[in-house]
Amino acid sequence: MTEYKVRSSALLGKTILVTGAGDGIGKAACKAYAQLGANVILLGRTVANLEKVYDEIVQIHQTSNFNEAQCAIIPLDLKGATEKHYQDMAMTIGDQFGCLDGLLHNASVLGHLQPFEHIKEDEFSEVMHVNVTSHFLMTKALLPVLKKAPMASTIFTTSTVGSQGRAYWGTYSVSKFAVEGMMQVLADEYADSTMRFNCINPGRTRTKMRASAYPAENPETLKTADEIMSVYEYLMSDESCKENGKTFLAQPSLAK
Ligand SMILES: NC(=O)c1ccc[n+]([C@@H]2O[C@H](COP(=O)([O-])OP(=O)(O)OC[C@H]3O[C@@H](n4cnc5c(N)ncnc54)[C@H](OP(=O)(O)O)[C@@H]3O)[C@@H](O)[C@H]2O)c1
């Protein structure tokens, strides 16, 4: 497995927003970024989960002697959020932190795995709204604060079914193709800037989403979210400043 190594204070002074921060891969990314000194903004829908992660981040900052580092919570359900919510959020981030150095689009929903002909229009719309439209609206609103950072990194989260369609993965698969497309459009459009846009495909990982897709699978056979963090750290650090428009596998050994 590819291991990217970054300096122990690689993210000191950087402000990073993570969506779906309350659980799974998003939670692991927040902790990993805090361990490297970042100010971490936790966005999610279940406040109790976000508060638990907040407490862990404060603890990590303290024990790592990153005494100036901050943590903030943005409770937001991507399902109902409008362009105005994201614009207000961008303004608050600008006022509090000055700029945004990193954005990890991690939250998404699976929807039901079912034959294509059974997909209901309202479910298709909901999954596409959370997994795609929210990413569009949020990225658009945050571009002004991302541009203020010296070298901002935006990471989108894809899946193996985001580049190869698979039977019964309908809306989720379609949404991940769209996410990869959005990343590529942005990467090309800002190729001459200091900003970069990439995707990570985490690969099968021991989380609630994976368990709901594969209920009979033994979770012990899967890597934990904490174990796949090296590419998440690399892409947020300045060491990846030349990477743009690519999709990275967090577990390349799974592709073999
Ligand atoms: N796990 C895998 O094997 C795997 C494989 C390939 C790709 N991925 C991708 O990796 C990313 C993270 O997946 P995961 O496995 O960590 O999923 P997860 O365990 O289901 O966690 C998802 C997180 O997103 C949040 N979220 C979901 N809907 C939201 C909404 N409407 N508004 C705000 N937050 C919302 C959840 O909030 P709550 O705390 O409220 O539940 C949760 O914290 C996803 O994009 C997924 O597609 C995962």
Q: How far apart are CA 69 and CA 91, in angstroms?
A: 20
Model confidence at 135, in pLDDT bands (50, 70, 90)? very high
Residue 205 has pLDDT above 90, yes or no: yes
What integer pLDDT is reported at residue 3 of this predicted model? Answer: 75
> Mean pLDDT across the chain, nearest whole number?
97
Contact yes or no for 30/40 (Cβ under 8 A): yes
What integer pLDDT is reported at residue 256 of this predicted model? Answer: 66
Residue 1 has pLDDT above 60, yes or no: no
Q: At what angle do helices 24-35 and 47-63 cross, to 10 degrees?
A: 20
Domain at 15-255, CATH from 3.90.1150.200, 3.40.50.720, 3.30.1490.390, 1.20.120.330: 3.40.50.720
> What phi and psi values does residue 154 have, to the nearest 5 degrees?
-115, 125
- Which residue has the CA at smallest separation from atom 6 of ligand 1? 159
Distance in Å, CA 70 to ligand 1 centroid: 24
Distance in Å, CA 65 to ligand 1 centroid: 30
Letter string b/e over residues 153-176, b meaning 16 or more CB atoms within 10 A of that residue's CB: bbbbbbbbbbeeeeeebbbbbbbb
What integer pLDDT is reported at residue 228 of this predicted model? Answer: 97
- Which residue has the CA at smallest separation from atom 11 of ligand 1? 106
Write the DSSP assignment of 93-136 as a string of letters: HHHHHSS--EEEE----------GGG--HHHHHHHHIIIIIHHH
What integer pLDDT is reported at residue 2 of this predicted model? Answer: 59
Mean pLDDT for 154-174 is 97
Distance in Å, CA 192 to ligand 1 centroid: 32
Residue 141 has pLDDT above 60, yes or no: yes
Distance in Å, CA 153 to ligand 1 centroid: 20
- Which residue has the CA at smallest separation from atom 38 of ligand 1? 46
- CA 190 from chain center: how many Å? 20
Q: What is the pLDDT of residues 22-56, one digit of tens each?
A: 999 999 999 999 999 999 999 999 999 999 999 99
Residues of the chain with pLDDT > 90: what percent? 96
Q: What are the catalytic residues?
A: 172
The conformation of residue 170, written as its DSSP 8-state character, comes to H
> Does the model's pTM come out above 0.85?
yes
Alpha-carbon Rg for the chain, nearest whole angstrom, is 17
Contact yes or no for 156/203 (Cβ under 8 A): no
Q: Given ligand 1 and candidates 108, 200, 221, which is best to mutate, with the most ligand atoms within 8 Å of its CB?
A: 108
- Which residue has the CA at smallest separation from atom 36 of ligand 1? 20
